[in-house]
Amino acid sequence: MLPFYVINSCPYPRFLHISPMCFTQVMFLMEFLTITKFYLCFLVILSIATTILNPVSATKPCNFPAIFNLGDSNSDTGGLAASLLAPTPPYGETYFHRPSGRFSDGRLIIDFIAQSFGLSYLSAYLDSLGTNFSHGANFATSASTIRPPPSIIPQGGYSPFYLDVQYTQFKDFKPRTQFIRHQGGIFASLMPKEEYFPKALYTFDIGQNDLGAGFFGNMTTQQVNASVPDIVNSFSANVKNIYNLGARSFWIHNTGPIGCLPYILANFLSVERDEYGCAKPYNEVAKYFNQKLKQAVVQLRKDLPQSAITYVDIYSVKYSLFSNPKKYGFEQPLVACCGYGGEYNYSSIVGCGGTIEINGSNVFVGSCDRPSIRVNWDGVHYTETANKFIFDKISTGAFSDPPLPLNMACHRNSTKI
């Protein structure tokens, strides 16, 4: 927006240092258009001020040629499915009409991000079949943590591909893809161009499982809360490492209101609820994580002078789905669409796509009638409609610091370019 002091100062000399062009135009107006001078001056100053004084709004969109994503199931487009555990029907029923490796009925926020740049959906780095990395790669796997996980699938609950491992994979990805490109042959065109690496957008959505691992590992919320600075330090270290490999534009999602998700609600039935039915202490820890993450981003901007880092307040957007579902066309936000049992339609014994024996007969855990008006898909993950809603909100910049739209995320928040 145009700063008001600029308009108010017209046509006083204090303003004239801005540019010789402005001076000339102002003088021109003063001499020849005396009657309407103030009005016209206002218009000229307005247009000049918009283009010169407010370069952020005048800067060109970034044209990201590629996206490299790191994270957990909130942005996994097939990593865990290719390596350890693939979702089964009805996962994927809404958009892909088959389980697509995503833990949702359809697309994820990262899919809408890629689509908004005209890029194809990201291939998972771990997927050996039919992958196309020409415009990016996805290192996220579901059930990933920032810190080393307490237990690994299938014995335990977490992905072995925690953030340090995802970074290591990215580090190798760069030289190996360039080797393949230069070698030529059928795989060459499936590799990103070298110049895409510094120009790409590096996106992150991770941290929820570090909190979850604490909550389900018999730690008190205070103990999990106390581990947050350590978790966030590990996160920062990885951002620095990726910067040191040439990354410049970062788009970092904070963590969502974990206390509004059925897998927390159904497991901690006696925990204090807020006015919308979310588990309050769990959300408090998520908020503290976000506070520390935001502080870490401020520090990273100082440590990484050529970086453009956008901190995205996913928490607030997701929380609005629980505080105001009707306003946005949603129903029963605290209840899983695809699940089994209890107030939250969620059971840790059987999940979405599983079968359970009830009174001697096998019952398939399938989808609810209208996933398109639901927030929660399977007790942990959001529906495609919710993901699209979140994308629409965050892509404007209204939930970002700096408050630049997604396609401006290569620019720093300054009035100098």
Ligand X SMILES: *[C@@H]1O[C@H](CO)[C@@H](O)[C@H](O)[C@H]1NC(C)=O
Tell me the catalytic residues: 73, 378, 381
Q: Residue 276: count other Cβ atoms within 10 Å of its Cβ.
A: 15
How many residues touch ligand X under the rule CB under 6 A: the total is 32
Residue number with CB closer to ligand X (46 or 119): 119
* Nearest CA-CA partner of 217 in 147, 276, 164: 147
Question: Closest CB to ligand X belongs to which residue?
Answer: 368
Cα 215 to Cα 11, 152, 267, 316, distances in angstroms: 62, 17, 10, 22
Counting every residue written for the chain, the total comes to: 417
Choose among 246, 315, 323: nearest CA to 284.
315
Q: Quick one: which of 281, 325, 353, 397 contacts ligand X (CB under 6 A)?
A: 281
* Interaction between residue 284 and ligand X (CB under 6 A): yes
Print burial letters for 293-310: b (CB count within 10 Å at least 16), e (below 16): bbebbeebbeebeebbbb
Does 120 sit near ligand X (CB under 6 A)? Answer: yes
Write down the least CB distance from residue 194 to ligand X, Å.
Answer: 17
Query: Which residue, 29 or 336, has its beta carbon nearer to ligand X?
Result: 336
Q: Which residues contact 47 (CB under 8 A, 6 or more apart)?
A: none
Single out the segment in contact with ligand X by CB under 6 A; choices: 22-30, 94-102, 339-347, 379-387. Answer: 339-347
Among 67, 278, 304, 365, binds ligand X (CB under 6 A): 365
127 binds ligand X per the rule CB under 6 A: no
For ligand X, the closer CB: 231 or 335: 335
Q: Judged by CB under 6 A, does residue 368 bind ligand X?
A: yes
Instruction: In whole angstroms, give the CA distance from residue 51 to residue 117.
Output: 25
Report which DSSP code applies to 119: P
In the complex with ligand X, which residue's Cβ is closer, 41 or 232? 232
Query: Where does this chain bind ligand X (CB under 6 A)?
Result: 119-120, 132, 134-135, 189-190, 217-218, 221-222, 225, 281, 284-285, 288, 332, 335, 337-340, 345, 358-359, 365-366, 368-369, 401-402, 413
